[in-house]
Amino acid sequence: DKYLLRVTAGPTYAPSTHTLIPVNTTSPTHISTPLMDAWLNVRIKGYNGLPTSAPPTDSAYFSHPLHTSDLHSVGYTFIPKRDIPGQDLVTGFDFDHSIRDRLPPGFKTAMRIVTTLLDPGIYSDPYSDAPFLYGLALSSFFAFRVGDKGDGGVGEFRISMLLSLLLPSL
Asked if 31 and 10 count as a contact pair (C-beta separation under 8 A), the reply is: yes
Asked if 164 and 68 count as a contact pair (C-beta separation under 8 A), the reply is: no
Provide the β-strand partners of residue 90.
Answer: 136
pLDDT tens profile 50-72: 888 888 887 788 888 888 899 99
pLDDT category, 153, cuts 50, 70, 90?
Answer: very low
Helix or strand holding residue 63 (H, E): none
pTM tops 0.75: no
Asked if 146 and 79 count as a contact pair (C-beta separation under 8 A), the reply is: no
Helices (H), 11-150: 59-62, 107-113
Beta carbons within 8 Å of 142's beta carbon, 6+ residues apart: 161, 162, 163
Compute the average pLDDT of residues 43-54.
Answer: 88
Strands of 90-94's sheet in order across: 90-94, 132-136, 123-124
C-beta atoms surrounding 17 within 10 Å: 13
Query: Does the pLDDT of residue 155 top 90, yes or no?
Result: no
Query: Does the pLDDT of residue 31 top 90, yes or no?
Result: yes
Alpha-carbon distances of 98 from 13, 73, 95, 128, 131, rounded to whole Å: 17, 23, 7, 6, 6
